[in-house]
């Protein structure tokens, strides 16, 4: 049974406690290091310092994504409220729910919103944001879920007119197979009057993409290198910063940014907690994250393959970013 925490107008279901999270992360790390290229799960990037560094990244002039998505939501939150008539707003990977307040404002003004359901792996972050939103929006209930959006979507509570939001182009951090599984899970969750709101970064000039992940003051590199520090601390690893060169490059064939390191020399990294000796050859990549970029036709095909139908598409004036709305595809009778 899930553990449940309550406060006035707030319910938090804990489906993933710290020991569960660590066990799953250790397992994911063990197996990702056996892939080609070798990978480290991106979740290691988001400890307390990493989260602060990422917040700094979102304010850098080169990193347009957060600003563009916020601009789109500011311009079209009212349209989204009208199109969805959402009584429940679900947010996957909610974090601080900062941009989500634009949606909450519009739905609250429309008089439809009854409940907010944030889903995040961090119980501390979830409680903090839930209390803030409950104080700001007096008429709605908060039903938080501490869990992994790739595993715990079935825990989203039933209801009419639910809108599931997945913002920040976080879907771009998933490879095509994981995207397909997630979109399939969303399609299975949605009922006839539900909707899926998705933020996606769009394919654009390579120089702008590369600049967004290789900022002039080195915050992104510091963010990714902090992941190595976390691994050294949490798993007893002995990654050596000086023997790994930061690299974030555009893979034109896969249409994603590939972010991580290249070994400056042959080396063996000990990871005692996983009982792993990681061998890297000189010039061998070690991936930490991908950030896929999308074209309308491509994401529409991915949605359709999962059983979802694109109904609305909003972009900024420069066509840098898009926020889209999809519904469950009607089945043949």
What CATH number did the domain enclosing 70 receive? 3.40.50.150
On whether both 220 and 281 belong to a single domain, the answer is yes
On whether both 193 and 323 belong to a single domain, the answer is yes
On whether both 42 and 98 belong to a single domain, the answer is no
pLDDT of residue 333: 37
pLDDT at 156 exceeding the cut of 90: yes
Kindly state whether residue 21 falls inside one of the protein's structural domains.
no
pLDDT at 215 exceeding the cut of 80: yes
pLDDT at 332 exceeding the cut of 80: no
How high is the mean pLDDT of the chain?
A: 93
On whether both 248 and 322 belong to a single domain, the answer is no
Which pLDDT tens digit goes with each residue over 312-329?
999 999 999 999 999 997
On whether both 249 and 127 belong to a single domain, the answer is no
Q: Which residues contact 212 (CB under 8 A, 6 or more apart)?
A: 62, 63, 64, 65, 257
Which pLDDT tens digit goes with each residue over 42-54?
999 988 899 889 9
Q: Tokens for 187, please give them.
A: 């399609």
Kindly state whether residue 184 falls inside one of the protein's structural domains.
yes
On whether both 177 and 98 belong to a single domain, the answer is yes
On whether both 287 and 318 belong to a single domain, the answer is no
CB atoms < 10 A from the CB of 30, how many? 14
Kindly state whether residue 245 falls inside one of the protein's structural domains.
yes
pLDDT of residue 227: 95
CA angle 12, 103, 64 (to 5 degrees): 105
Domain count, the chain: 2
Q: Indicate the pLDDT class of residue 204, thresholds 50, 70 and 90.
A: very high
On whether both 175 and 270 belong to a single domain, the answer is no
On whether both 177 and 145 belong to a single domain, the answer is yes
CB 80 within 8 A of CB 92: no
On whether both 42 and 166 belong to a single domain, the answer is no
Kindly state whether residue 40 falls inside one of the protein's structural domains.
yes
CB 173 within 8 A of CB 151: no
Domain interval for residue 229:
36-60+206-292
Q: Which residues contact 303 (CB under 8 A, 6 or more apart)?
A: 183, 309, 310, 326
pLDDT at 17 exceeding the cut of 90: no
Least-confidence region, from 97-101, 110-114, 141-145, 195-199: 97-101
On whether both 142 and 270 belong to a single domain, the answer is no
The pTM score is: 0.93
Kindly state whether residue 115 falls inside one of the protein's structural domains.
yes
Give the distance between the most distant pair of CA atoms in the chain: 62
Q: Indicate the pLDDT class of residue 9, thresholds 50, 70 and 90.
A: confident
Kindly state whether residue 27 falls inside one of the protein's structural domains.
no
Kindly state whether residue 151 falls inside one of the protein's structural domains.
yes
Percentage above 90 pLDDT, the chain: 83
Kindly state whether residue 281 falls inside one of the protein's structural domains.
yes
Query: What mean pLDDT comes out for the span 266-278?
Result: 97
CB 95 within 8 A of CB 66: no
On whether both 271 and 247 belong to a single domain, the answer is yes
pLDDT of residue 99: 84
């Amino acid at each position: 049974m899930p553990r449940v925490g309550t406060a006035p107008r707030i319910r938090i279901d804990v489906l993933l406690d710290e020991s569960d999270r660590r066990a799953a992360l250790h397992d994911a790390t063990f197996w990702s290091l056996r892939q080609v290229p070798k990978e480290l799960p991106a979740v290691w990037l988001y400890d307390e310092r990493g989260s602060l560094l990422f917040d700094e990244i979102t304010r850098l002039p080169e990193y347009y994504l957060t600003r563009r998505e916020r601009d789109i939501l500011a311009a079209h939150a009212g349209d989204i409220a009208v199109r969805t008539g959402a009584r429940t707003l679900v947010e996957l990977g909610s974090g601080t729910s900062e941009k989500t307040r634009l949606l909450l404002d519009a739905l609250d003004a429309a008089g439809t919103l009854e409940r907010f359901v944030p889903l995040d792996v961090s119980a501390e972050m979830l409680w903090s944001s839930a209390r803030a939103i409950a104080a700001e929006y007096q008429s709605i209930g908060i039903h938080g879920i501490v869990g992994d959006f790739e595993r715990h979507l079935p825990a989203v509570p039933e209801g009419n007119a639910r809108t599931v939001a997945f913002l920040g182009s976080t879907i771009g951090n998933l490879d095509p197979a994981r995207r397909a599984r997630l979109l399939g899970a969303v399609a299975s969750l949605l009922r006839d009057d539900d909707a899926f709101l998705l933020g996606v970064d769009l394919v654009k000039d390579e120089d702008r993409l590369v600049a967004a992940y290789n900022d002039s003051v080195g915050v992104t590199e510091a963010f990714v290198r902090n992941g190595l520090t976390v691994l050294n601390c949490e798993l007893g690893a002995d990654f050596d910063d000086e023997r790994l060169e930061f690299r974030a490059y555009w893979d034109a064939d896969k249409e994603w940014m590939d972010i991580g390191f290249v070994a400056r020399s042959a080396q063996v990294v000990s990871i005692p907690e996983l009982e792993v000796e990681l061998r890297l050859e000189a010039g061998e990549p070690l991936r930490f994250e991908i950030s896929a970029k999308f074209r309308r036709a491509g994401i529409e095909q991915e949605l359709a393959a999962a059983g979802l139908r694109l109904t609305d598409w909003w972009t900024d004036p420069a066509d840098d970013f898009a926020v889209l709305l999809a519904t469950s595809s009607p089945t043949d009778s």
